[in-house]
Structure 1
Amino acid sequence: MKLLEKNGQASKDGDAMKILEDALTLCKFGKFHYLLLAATLCSIFAVMFISTTTSFVLPVAECDLKMNMMYKGLMNAIPFFGQIGVSVFTGFLADTFGRRKFLIAGNFGMFIGTVIEGSSQNYWMMLFIKLTEGILVSLGFCAISTMLSEFTPFAVRDRVLLVYSGFASFSLIVAAVLAWAALPLPIHWVIWEGYFELHAWNVYLYICSIWSLLAFILYYYLPESPKFLLSHGQEKEALEVLKTIYSMNTGNDRDSFPIKSFSTSGTLKPTDAKSLKKQLRSALKEVKELFRRPLLYRLLLSSFIIFAGLLVFTSFRLWYPQISTIIENYSKNNGESASFCVMITDYMEGLNKGQSVDAVKNATEPGICIPKLSGSETYMNGIILGFVTLIFVMISACLVKKVGQKILMFVILILSAICCGSLYWTYNSLVIAVLMSATCGLLQTALSLQYNLFVRIFPTTSRTLAVSIIMLIGRFGSLSGNILYPILLNMGCMAPFIATSLVALGLAGLVYFLPNVNKENKETGDK
């Protein structure tokens, strides 16, 4: 009897989601979605800038904040610790109480945090704010893609989610351009001598805070996801949201929207008001389903792929400026370029012989510290990397519908392995830069395709929690990769690059086991 009731409920839920997908198709893709994409872009910029801006600020602010190399490393890592600490908890709450609330709170919190970070006068103040910003990132990040996916018509969902992934690449370009414009400026404003002084890096962080403020304003005026509302029994509210989208996109009157209910009977069910206790109890039931087959299998597979992918991608991307500097300095010192391995080995041997000089060894001695400012090549490399990644993501957005996500992921991962492995035979610095940028771009595109996939293979009621768990494990991969990378580099010049190629090939093999969401959810779009 219970089985019959369960199957009957599943059938009703399937019918409701099928009607919702039809409703989103009728709403078309228009003004409302452009507004949603603008909010998504601003939010992604805010999230990415929390970690990206640090790499530009640290060289400039090393004397102002009295940082040595250990302090710099801690500053780079601390936002990840904040994200790891609360990401699963916030994902559970976003699935229980809605995506919009957390997007509003998270972006407003990031705005306040970045303004305070920009006002930092000492290292420990900035370190604490970075930790807080990591926590605030978790409030909003897990819900950004979920919100976008649940508002987008099925026919263009894959492409829109890849455009969303392109925003992350575009943020790297914008961060580098803003840094190039602001950080070289000779700014030193004394507001309160000895207590409050502003430099170019303070102004740079103030400028970067604008994105989270814009995201907060845009999300404040956007409605809650209709899929979230429907999955929580709020059919009337979900229908009102769809009417709003329909009116904005088509210009027709709200009352002319052809769908009147989400049931085959045509009757609109009244909203069942639930207490906080009932909402939490219902959410915990959905969490149990996440840890049962087949969802558990999908959760484990997605988590492993993201862990391995971010382990190689994040370390590769963050070490890219250092590798670029090694190659640049070798060419200057020797008057010519050499093979990739020769240049890396020369640098590592110099370190082992004690020939390198710590640029900030006197950072704590007033009057002696001279910051080693980034040159234009550092900013140019960041811009090139962002452009290459953006191009790959946009090409994938055009091909994903024709080729399919799984085949496209497989091809991209194979190409990234080839590009990375080819570095061993490369002599020209320009070719090295192209191959490293291509490797980063291809890996990020593959991760974007995978991310777009697992956003759709989990039910609406536990989707944000699943994304949070997967990204939590992925952040452990990012941390592990940055610890392992210098160890591998000491083992041999090509060790980290060979490891990256092997991981990419292994992930290409795992693509076979991923579900085909377009085939499984052909009728209902998403679960």
Structure 2
Amino acid sequence: MDLKSIQDQPKDESNDIKDQMQILEEALTLCKFGRFHLRLLAATLCAAVSLMTVTTTTSYILPIAECDLKMNIMHKGLLNGMPFFGQIGASLFAGFLIDSFGRRIFLVGGNSIIFICTIIEGSSQSYIMLLLTKLLEGIAISLCFSAISSYLTELCHLQVRDRLLILYSGFISVALIIAALSAWVILPIEFNYSVLDGYFELHSWNLFLYFCSIWSLFAVVIYWSLPETPKYLLSHGREKEALEVLKGIYSENSGNKKDTFPVKSLNKSGTIKPTQEISLKKQMVTSLFEAKELFRKPLIFKLIIFSFIFFSGLIVFTSLRLWYPQLSTIVENYAKDNGGSARFCVMINEYMQNLNPAITNATESLECVPKLSGSETYMNGLILGFAALISVGISALLVDYFGQKVLMFGILILSSICSTVLYWTNAPLQIAILISCSCALLQAALCLQQNIFVRFFPTKLRALAVSIIIMIGRVGSLTGNIIFPILLNVGCMAPFILSAVIPLGIAILVYFLPNVSKDNKVTGDK
């Protein structure tokens, strides 16, 4: 790119057709990719691990804590789904606030709440206490989840945006690996600490939750050191502040002084427009009027398609991912008790038939013997994480060759095949690989869809649109976690038929998604 053509843009008649966002895209390109973006990626990694541990830790503590917390199979399903219930209640409101007041404040605030809640959660002495803190964590997730992807894309130039969004999805896979490793190291520890005559007790699962809180703390510290996005600032008439952010990024990446940044303004006049101070009331009213555009043609139809795909995909992905450690523990204990494995559904059906509530009253508390996870279960968790990481990595390599829509279609077909074959398997390693591949492929498909909808919606509506899609997706997550144990009671085959059919249906809907790489190639994201 010719730096002089940007610097002298008011004198160049060809630049008159450029709007502010086009000029901003060129300015971001001049900032290149460097140390600032490494800090941004570090914050994104910590936030991804923080958010994933909120939903993933529960699945690892279910077997070991079932006696301490007096849980039966339905209690476990409700505990798995509670963070998603919290997100459903707050996502829509959070998206509106993020679009109105910025991304950074909610990334710092949301992760701060998660840190506090995880500490309280680690101190839980009852099922109700753990359930309520999971609900609060779900609300906190809604404050920052949709802001993460918006914040990441709005601080990177167009040429690296798709790859960084896929890298963000890779961080989610890394989070699964970190959760499995942490559980493997901490949960097998025989730790029982009691004070106040047993009123306050700590076990290894409490220590596990304490450890998981450090990621949200890291995210708070790093996000605190980062600025608001120039796209958000510019879209709200704060051009001077947006230009200062760009100068800071340019200086940190290049090592040059801020004054040497070639772009002197972000509008066609060539002079910086003064920021117009508006009241909180006017800002809220303006945001409400802007939000109406999301529910008009053509955005409303795309919003419905995106939401339905996300809802359907998360029914399968979340239920498989969160119930996987419990299923793996069932398979592992069956092999120990019977001297070998059987067909997958035979092992699951036997467990369901012999299942009784862990504790029915106080007199039976001494008889509760939890089915503890062994090393095989944690190893399977690592397989799941690495499979997801490989799947996302391959998608990142192939997306430029096949395009997002074609690649997404192929991935969904493969995921359906893996879920179908699972019914006839009997070897624990085969079961681990097929479930891991089903989850990993679904994650890659949802990642590709997220790349599309984050870039499709305009900046002023992006966080709200993402929050609506995520909110409806979380309804799917909650639905999946509640119906999964119900379907297991009906029979092992039922949930896995669902896991095979849903990806096929989503693959058909991929045809109706927009092609943002083609549509936004010249002008950049809206």
What TM-score does the superposition give when structure 2 sets the normalisation length? 0.92
Per-residue deviation, residues 412-443 of structure 1 (Å, max 9, x unmatched)? 11111222222344444322321221111101
Shift of the alpha carbon at 1:207? Answer: 1.1
Shift of the alpha carbon at 1:171? Answer: 0.8
Aligned to 1:320: 324
Measure the CA separation in 2 of the matches of 1:427 and 1:193: 47
Alpha carbons 1:176, 1:382 under 8 Å: kept? yes
Measure the CA separation in 1 of the matches of 2:304 and 2:476: 14
Taking a change above 3 Å as real, the CA distance of residues 175 and 351 of structure 1, as seen in their structure-2 partners, is: closer
Shift of the alpha carbon at 1:124? Answer: 2.5
Aligned to 1:102: 106
Taking a change above 3 Å as real, the CA distance of residues 179 and 128 of structure 1, as seen in their structure-2 partners, is: same
Alpha carbons 2:332, 2:377 under 8 Å: kept? no
Taking a change above 3 Å as real, the CA distance of residues 123 and 356 of structure 1, as seen in their structure-2 partners, is: closer
Alpha carbons 1:69, 1:360 under 8 Å: kept? no
Aligned to 1:122: 126
**RMSD of aligned residue pairs (Cα, Å):** 2.2
Measure the CA separation in 2 of the matches of 1:122 and 1:479: 22
Shift of the alpha carbon at 1:471? Answer: 0.8
Measure the CA separation in 2 of the matches of 1:71 and 1:418: 31
Measure the CA separation in 2 of the matches of 1:67 and 1:330: 20
Per-residue deviation, residues 48-71 of structure 1 (Å, max 9, x unmatched)? 111111122233233333444443
**3-state secondary structure, aligned to 1:197:** strand
Taking a change above 3 Å as real, the CA distance of residues 127 and 335 of structure 1, as seen in their structure-2 partners, is: closer
Taking a change above 3 Å as real, the CA distance of residues 496 and 147 of structure 1, as seen in their structure-2 partners, is: same
Aligned to 1:398: 397
**3-state secondary structure, aligned to 2:19:** helix
**3-state secondary structure, aligned to 1:189:** strand
1:455 matched to 2:454: yes
1:218 matched to 2:219: no
Aligned to 1:8: none
Aligned to 1:45: 49
- Give the gaps of 5 or more residues in structure 1: 1-10
Amino acid of the structure 2 residue aligned with 1:58: L
1:366-405 map, 5 Å: 366-405=365-404
Moved more, 481-490 or 171-180: 481-490
**3-state secondary structure, aligned to 2:87:** helix
Aligned to 1:348: 349
Measure the CA separation in 2 of the matches of 1:473 and 1:15: 34
Aligned to 2:493: 494
Measure the CA separation in 2 of the matches of 1:437 and 1:416: 10
Aligned residues: 512
1:508-527 map, 5 Å: 508-527=507-526
Measure the CA separation in 2 of the matches of 1:492 and 1:207: 37
Alpha carbons 1:77, 1:479 under 8 Å: kept? yes
Measure the CA separation in 2 of the matches of 1:478 and 1:60: 23
Taking a change above 3 Å as real, the CA distance of residues 146 and 364 of structure 1, as seen in their structure-2 partners, is: farther
Aligned to 2:202: 198
1:177 matched to 2:181: yes
Taking a change above 3 Å as real, the CA distance of residues 71 and 498 of structure 1, as seen in their structure-2 partners, is: closer
Taking a change above 3 Å as real, the CA distance of residues 442 and 70 of structure 1, as seen in their structure-2 partners, is: closer
1:159 matched to 2:163: yes
Alpha carbons 2:412, 2:503 under 8 Å: kept? yes
Measure the CA separation in 1 of the matches of 2:339 and 2:420: 26
Shift of the alpha carbon at 1:241? Answer: 0.2
Taking a change above 3 Å as real, the CA distance of residues 368 and 473 of structure 1, as seen in their structure-2 partners, is: same
Alpha carbons 2:169, 2:447 under 8 Å: kept? yes
Taking a change above 3 Å as real, the CA distance of residues 349 and 66 of structure 1, as seen in their structure-2 partners, is: closer
Taking a change above 3 Å as real, the CA distance of residues 502 and 120 of structure 1, as seen in their structure-2 partners, is: closer
**3-state secondary structure, aligned to 1:64:** coil
Shift of the alpha carbon at 1:192? Answer: 3.9
What TM-score does the superposition give when structure 1 sets the normalisation length? 0.92
Percent of residue pairs bearing the same amino acid type: 62
Taking a change above 3 Å as real, the CA distance of residues 67 and 356 of structure 1, as seen in their structure-2 partners, is: closer
Taking a change above 3 Å as real, the CA distance of residues 41 and 350 of structure 1, as seen in their structure-2 partners, is: closer
Measure the CA separation in 1 of the matches of 2:117 and 2:99: 25
Taking a change above 3 Å as real, the CA distance of residues 247 and 309 of structure 1, as seen in their structure-2 partners, is: same
Measure the CA separation in 1 of the matches of 2:462 and 2:16: 20
Taking a change above 3 Å as real, the CA distance of residues 87 and 326 of structure 1, as seen in their structure-2 partners, is: same
Amino acid of the structure 2 residue aligned with 1:399: L
Amino acid of the structure 2 residue aligned with 1:499: L
1:240 matched to 2:241: no
Aligned to 1:26: 30
Per-residue deviation, residues 118-152 of structure 1 (Å, max 9, x unmatched)? 12223322222221111111111120111001111
1:230 matched to 2:234: yes
Alpha carbons 2:121, 2:133 under 8 Å: kept? yes
Taking a change above 3 Å as real, the CA distance of residues 498 and 198 of structure 1, as seen in their structure-2 partners, is: closer
Alpha carbons 2:70, 2:358 under 8 Å: kept? no
Amino acid of the structure 1 residue aligned with 2:116: I
- Give the gaps of 5 or more residues in structure 2: 1-14
Taking a change above 3 Å as real, the CA distance of residues 364 and 149 of structure 1, as seen in their structure-2 partners, is: farther
Taking a change above 3 Å as real, the CA distance of residues 213 and 254 of structure 1, as seen in their structure-2 partners, is: same
Aligned to 2:504: 505
Alpha carbons 1:312, 1:500 under 8 Å: kept? yes
1:262 matched to 2:263: no
**3-state secondary structure, aligned to 2:259:** helix
Shift of the alpha carbon at 1:72? Answer: 3.1
Aligned to 2:97: 93
Shift of the alpha carbon at 1:262? Answer: 1.2
Per-residue deviation, residues 271-294 of structure 1 (Å, max 9, x unmatched)? 111110111111011110000011
* Residue of structure 2 aligned with 1:72, choices 58, 63, 76: 76
Shift of the alpha carbon at 1:335? Answer: 4.6
**3-state secondary structure, aligned to 1:120:** coil
Amino acid of the structure 1 residue aligned with 2:397: C
Aligned to 1:6: none
